[in-house]
Structure 1
């Protein structure tokens, strides 16, 4: 007598034991890793992509693959022990000559999880030197409870030539369909009956309809197209809806998409220094695009994220109830030990478990991070926050998911957040298990976590006790140690002060922006009224006999408007740096103001002279006296207005100081009489002394934080120091340094990148040149013309690249006399296409052509290219586009002028600042480097609007000898 196995047992072991889609994919990826793959891939080809009529799902790896005997003796044999044996592989052909790996799989049934993904399925697998093996199967066949395993035919065929894969595929399908030839079993009972007849019909129909479309065929062919190809690929013809819906970004079921992403990220432990370089990708091919699903909502954690943690824990549980390690609270590191008072026995020993965990504060004001750092980390924590479990550096599901709070952090916080500080959703980190250290912590057969055995319960008890005790020691509302609470309060106070300052700055910016909108209108109204008065005065003074009384009112109004004119000049805030938009609007308004002054001043001066000629000395003396008094009254009014504001503010601060002081005193006095009357013992006096001392310290600390700093600040104030300007200067410096640092991170590798690109281009050009030569020798006669075009175009590309060569090879270059006609000819060739396409007139003077400059060739060429490149960009909206190169022999200055946009006065120096650019996506590096390079060569470059140089009234740059200040 012996056991016989029904076919549905395999279905129960496979699809029936898989908890969800991510688990199914993870199991197959683990098998790929065990087969020494470095690249594990899942791909969804959505209907419509590249003309596909159906959707397909492919999961593949570049592992060692299988031969015919491997498929028969291993893949089709369930529960093989090859992964559970203790011995490691030996570095050989079977390991693809890689270092032996600890196996991620152990039960020998993970391969069956492919049944979860959909049906039917085609498996292609290839071992180096062997032909590709093809297996076709529909796992739903195993759902028939009348079939035994030995009744099932699983078609397997070698594919000697992939070009005939469709023929082999057709044969595989026919062989698979032979499973339905028998209608009765050995006892003459129907094999398919009842509702399973519909299942039979579906399987047959979908097998007949299964077809390898051309884009999918190309994918399969490219995977196994050489003798050295290796790996395994599963093609699922009708993926389950959960897979197909992953491509629908607008789908209402966003939670499912995010669940899959968060479950498949972190396949190997990225938070630990490990020597596992495995790539996991889930490509979505949809419409006209391809993207990686795993990075669609944001990147996973890296080890560097621990540096951003406000609280950081690193240590080990020893397996018997003890924890030893360190805790970093903000910027202070302390040693920490914990011992669980539970009963110890051998059966509860779970082995040593290292833990490393970061914790992010819920509010930015309680964190030491910058706004950008906090936002970036919070995004990651929101998407992926949780405590992960890794075994031998491979993720154990479902730990790390939002609903996998196996240490009950949130349950405790719901009872009392003040005592139970730690939140599962704000942490990120891992528990590090291995088979060797923790043999009794095993996966459930359903892959839904660890088995709830004695060792597991002992560990969770230790871990929960550790976090509870740690919170009570340092993080609870009434913690034993005040280190965290004191530091948190200090950070909160600093951040709240900064936020208040930002709010005030924002209000000032908004007010300044509004004023910039109002000033032009007020100027226009002022100008109209002033012109009317001047015209009236002119008419009066043109009369033959005019008395002072007839023009007195007009002169008084003009005096009044002259005093009001200062209010038309925008008051630029000193505490912050105006934005570029505000500067631009201010610059345009100042232009209008200047034009107004230039227009009005001559007319007013002429009328003043005419009035002096017409009026008597007595009348002029009266008018002068009134003007004098008007200036005195205006000054007195301004001073009094600000004095009143000062008095009101001082009174308000004084009253606020008194109120706050009174509250603090009352707080200390309120229990005085009650405590004195309640004293009946010496012990009480000692206790009350300590209590009052603590309360006093708390109140004096509050005064130190809130009251005294303001008084100290007022005490330091002086009329001789403009505090607003000083603060604005420091803030401007900080903003500039912060901006430069952010830009530096993006450009730090620029020099290396140029060298790499140069090296790669040289190799690429050499290869293409060689191939063109070979092709040219073998081309058909009727294709010579087309080949000639190809060769010519490549030559042009090569010539353009050659133009770049002198620009970056500075280190070995020597100074030489460069005639400026060489520079002009180089620029004409370099910008040939842009000059032609933009209809630019490129002029050059004879003086420039004859001039010679002694300098390194790359330096001077780079300067001209940067300036001309900018000129071409800023001339794009001009009707007449002219660039001129000139030389002024008298001052020994080179002039580069164009008819593009004029550079505002306030930007003339700024354009040479590092990372300053007004061009969209501009880096602001070119002109900075140009100036630096020229300075090192004893030359200088500056921008100017002086009409002596800027004859096109556009942008103009001048190169001259550098003057050193002594």
Structure 2
């Protein structure tokens, strides 16, 4: 007598043991990992993608693949023990000549996970030197509790190539459908196309094991099998998969009718977000990324929907890397020794300390779990408590919110479910919910890993469901040790009443700094709002002022036309004009010293200033004319009265401004002094309120010593509070001086910081640009040589040489060659030598370089003889680059002008070269800024050209500046002047 196994047992071992979709995919990827694959992929083809009529799901790897005997003797044999024995392979063909890997699987049933994702299944596998192996099966067949394993037919087929996969699939389907018929009647029941014949039910002789209870299942399976197809998109995907593999090997599973959970991953609606997040968080970090080592494999999950393809695993941001530990406010690295002790280092902000912990539990060899290294980063929940910059804090916060948790990796391979949001196996959140001030650590704010191996931690084993570790004595001992470690660590450094104040002091310092900066930003925000408001109100204020002023001038003019006009008749008009004259200076919005206006605001302010100046130029002459007219009409006595009134109005206006600021100063000083006294009283009160009680209760010398220490600690704590709040204010006020504008100083430093920060961010792009230019230059030379060689070959061929298209190609290539030759003087500036360069040669070079633009925009050059005759001593690439950059900008800014002129001149008297154009005029406030690194007004411009031009000229003893001086800027557009570098600039 012997055991017989029902087919249902295989179903229970396979799909029945899989907890969820990520676990199923992970089990299949594990098999690919064990097969020495470099790329593991899951791919969903959604109905509608490039015309697909059905949904398909593919899981593939580029590992060593399987031969026919591998499939029959290994893949179709459950519980193979090669992995559970943890035997290492030998570097050979069987490892694809890679370093042997420790097997991720161990039970020999992970392959059955494919049953979880959908049915039927079509598998293709190829091994080096072998043909392709095809397998077709519907795992639902195993759900028939009447069938034994020996009753099941799993069809396979060996093929040389994938060209006739459609026919091969029909054959496999026909073979599979034999599972539903009696051998005697099979030819009548299934035709040669693998389809059901239209015959009467009396001719159908089903195996008795498909009884009434199984008929629905039978019909579902047969209908699904008959609908299985292969189209061009799928076949191309299969062929590409094997062609792209290094050894053209691997295994691929095609699943028809994928489960709804897979299909829902392509939907981006709100209802599916949590499930997508669950799947993504479970499949990322497939092999340990925290160690900074290059991953042995790359895994991806592609979604093909409509005309879009995206990788699901990257759709919610990138996973952690080792570098993220540098952004941790708290960093833990050490080893649990397996008996209850931890030895390692803790970094609290920027302070590193050695830390040793020993559990009080009884040391029992039966609970020894082996050494477990841990590396963990912890992110503060609020930016004010973090030492990171705003961008760094946001970067790590986004990752922690998406992927935060404590992961477990066995032999560098992730163990599920650890790391998931719900897998808080050390119960951090449970303790924190009871008292955050005591337990501190939150599972949702940490990221890192526990490193276990099969050798070191042999008793920490997976559950049969592959959902966590078995809850045995070793597992319980480890979790108890880890929990006690984190509880003790929190009490030592991070609790509200921690034994050590290192963390709390640093956190308080950061909080105080943050609050100070927050208040400073709020002050900046208010100034920004006020400045923006004044800009918006300016046009109306100017119009009202101008209208009122002009009306008064007209009224005064009319009054003065009267021969007998008296002072009393025009006194009120003169008084109002005087008030408007004083108000005139305050019309233009005042730029805050601490706040740096935006470029748009500067542009508006510049236009407002021009408008105000134009207004003044119009009314000033008329006002002066009327003043003289009034002087002619009025007596000296009346004029003295009017002058006295004007004098007094200026005194009154100044007095008003000074008094208003004095009142603000007195009010603020009173407020600060009042608050200082109040805080001081509270500190004194905290130190002295229990004095009498303490003194009266002292009855021994030991108590004197004890209370002395307590009072000393309290005094130090209160003094620290004063030093952190009260004294800095006094020191700041003490440093204030009427001779130093603190607001202006702070504004200048802030502007410098913002500029440095912006430049640093841009410098990285510039470095990459430089590298790219070198690569392009090298590749251009290679490409040029190849094309030129091929043209010469074609030219020698009599058949080709007569073709007009060839001549056209040759002509266009020569044009490209000419353009490339124009660039040659710009290369390798550092290797060029200084020599005399004729400006006439430079001019001719510009005509060639800008030939197309000159023709397209009808650009005219005005070039003086003095320019053509001038000689400049400089490196040729430098002068060419400078002129190209300036002319290129000129072309851009002249596009919308009716007349497009570029003027090149040399002023002999001042030894200056003029490069002017008729394009947009540069606003006065930008004349200096345009030479700053990364400053640009052109869309997509980098702001590098003019900066480099100035630097290069300075190195050659020359300088360049922009000007709106009408004597030099005769075209009233942009004007640049190259002159000798003055000694003050050296």
Shorter-chain TM band: over 0.9
Match of residue 560 from structure 1 = 579
Given the superposition, is the C-alpha separation of residues 3 and 853 from structure 1 closer, same or farther in structure 2, using an over 3 Å criterion? farther
Alignment of 1:337-348 (within 5 A): 337-348=356-367
SS at 2:830 equivalent: coil
Contact 2:125 2:134 in 1 (8 A): yes
Given the superposition, is the C-alpha separation of residues 894 and 184 from structure 1 closer, same or farther in structure 2, using an over 3 Å criterion? farther
Given the superposition, is the C-alpha separation of residues 179 and 824 from structure 1 closer, same or farther in structure 2, using an over 3 Å criterion? farther
Contact 2:371 2:457 in 1 (8 A): yes
SS at 2:387 equivalent: coil
Shift, 1:257, TM fit: 0.4
Given the superposition, is the C-alpha separation of residues 760 and 248 from structure 1 closer, same or farther in structure 2, using an over 3 Å criterion? farther
Shift, 1:31, TM fit: 1.5
Alignment of 1:321-470 (within 5 A): 321-470=340-489
Which stretch of the first structure deviates more once superposed, 389-398 or 280-289? 280-289
| Residues in 2 aligned to 1:15 and 1:257: alpha-carbon distance in whole angstroms | 21
Contact 1:129 1:228 in 2 (8 A): no
Match of residue 228 from structure 2 = 210
| Residues in 1 aligned to 2:793 and 2:463: alpha-carbon distance in whole angstroms | 62
CA deviation vs aligned residue, 1:654-705 (integer Å, no higher than 9, x gap): 2222222222223333323333444444444433333333332222222222
Match of residue 863 from structure 2 = 845
Given the superposition, is the C-alpha separation of residues 642 and 360 from structure 1 closer, same or farther in structure 2, using an over 3 Å criterion? same
Match of residue 242 from structure 2 = 224
2:82 equivalent to 1:64: no
2:728 equivalent to 1:709: yes
Shift, 1:738, TM fit: 1.6
2:786 equivalent to 1:745: no
Contact 1:317 1:353 in 2 (8 A): yes
SS at 1:558 equivalent: helix
Match of residue 199 from structure 2 = none
Shift, 1:827, TM fit: 4.5
Match of residue 49 from structure 2 = 49
TM-score in terms of structure 2 length: 0.92
Which stretch of the first structure deviates more once superposed, 427-436 or 789-798? 789-798
Shift, 1:353, TM fit: 0.5
Structure 2 residue runs of 5 or longer lacking an equivalent are: 186-204
Given the superposition, is the C-alpha separation of residues 100 and 766 from structure 1 closer, same or farther in structure 2, using an over 3 Å criterion? farther
CA deviation vs aligned residue, 1:563-616 (integer Å, no higher than 9, x gap): 222221322211232222221221111111111111121211222222222222
Shift, 1:351, TM fit: 0.7
2:182 equivalent to 1:182: yes
Contact 1:183 1:190 in 2 (8 A): no
SS at 1:162 equivalent: coil
CA deviation vs aligned residue, 1:618-647 (integer Å, no higher than 9, x gap): 222222222222222222222222222222
CA deviation vs aligned residue, 1:23-52 (integer Å, no higher than 9, x gap): 111122222122111111221222222222
| Residues in 2 aligned to 1:794 and 1:166: alpha-carbon distance in whole angstroms | 47
Shift, 1:485, TM fit: 0.9
Contact 1:183 1:192 in 2 (8 A): no
Shift, 1:773, TM fit: 7.8
Given the superposition, is the C-alpha separation of residues 95 and 907 from structure 1 closer, same or farther in structure 2, using an over 3 Å criterion? same
| Residues in 2 aligned to 1:194 and 1:859: alpha-carbon distance in whole angstroms | 91
CA deviation vs aligned residue, 1:747-806 (integer Å, no higher than 9, x gap): 333322222233344445556667788899999999966677677666666665555454
SS at 1:135 equivalent: strand
Which stretch of the first structure deviates more once superposed, 65-74 or 593-602? 65-74
Equivalent pairs counted in the alignment come to 963
SS at 1:229 equivalent: coil
| Residues in 2 aligned to 1:441 and 1:207: alpha-carbon distance in whole angstroms | 42
CA deviation vs aligned residue, 1:132-157 (integer Å, no higher than 9, x gap): 22222222222222222222222222
Which stretch of the first structure deviates more once superposed, 518-527 or 857-866? 857-866
| Residues in 2 aligned to 1:534 and 1:942: alpha-carbon distance in whole angstroms | 43
Match of residue 160 from structure 2 = 160
2:953 equivalent to 1:934: yes
| Residues in 1 aligned to 2:609 and 2:924: alpha-carbon distance in whole angstroms | 11
Alignment of 1:232-311 (within 5 A): 232-311=251-330
CA deviation vs aligned residue, 1:273-298 (integer Å, no higher than 9, x gap): 43534221212222222221111111
SS at 1:224 equivalent: helix
| Residues in 1 aligned to 2:780 and 2:101: alpha-carbon distance in whole angstroms | 38
Alignment of 1:481-496 (within 5 A): 481-496=500-515
Shift, 1:495, TM fit: 0.9
Which stretch of the first structure deviates more once superposed, 236-245 or 412-421? 236-245
Shift, 1:162, TM fit: 2.3
Which stretch of the first structure deviates more once superposed, 780-789 or 8-17? 780-789
TM-score in terms of structure 1 length: 0.94
| Residues in 1 aligned to 2:805 and 2:497: alpha-carbon distance in whole angstroms | 83
Match of residue 900 from structure 2 = 882
Given the superposition, is the C-alpha separation of residues 779 and 233 from structure 1 closer, same or farther in structure 2, using an over 3 Å criterion? farther
Match of residue 660 from structure 1 = 679
Alignment of 1:863-942 (within 5 A): 863-876=882-895, 878-880=896-898, 882-890=900-908, 891-942=910-961
Alignment of 1:674-685 (within 5 A): 674-685=693-704
Which stretch of the first structure deviates more once superposed, 374-383 or 760-769? 760-769
2:877 equivalent to 1:858: yes
Equivalent residue in structure 1 for 2:334, among 294, 310, 315: 315
Contact 2:182 2:207 in 1 (8 A): no
| Residues in 2 aligned to 1:109 and 1:815: alpha-carbon distance in whole angstroms | 76
Contact 2:933 2:947 in 1 (8 A): yes
SS at 1:644 equivalent: helix
Contact 1:851 1:887 in 2 (8 A): no
Match of residue 962 from structure 1 = 981
Given the superposition, is the C-alpha separation of residues 781 and 924 from structure 1 closer, same or farther in structure 2, using an over 3 Å criterion? closer
Given the superposition, is the C-alpha separation of residues 767 and 103 from structure 1 closer, same or farther in structure 2, using an over 3 Å criterion? farther
Which stretch of the first structure deviates more once superposed, 210-219 or 429-438? 210-219
Cα RMSD over matched residues?
A: 2.7
Contact 1:880 1:899 in 2 (8 A): no
Equivalent residue in structure 1 for 2:656, among 637, 642, 649: 637
Match of residue 125 from structure 2 = 125
SS at 1:664 equivalent: helix
| Residues in 2 aligned to 1:202 and 1:826: alpha-carbon distance in whole angstroms | 79
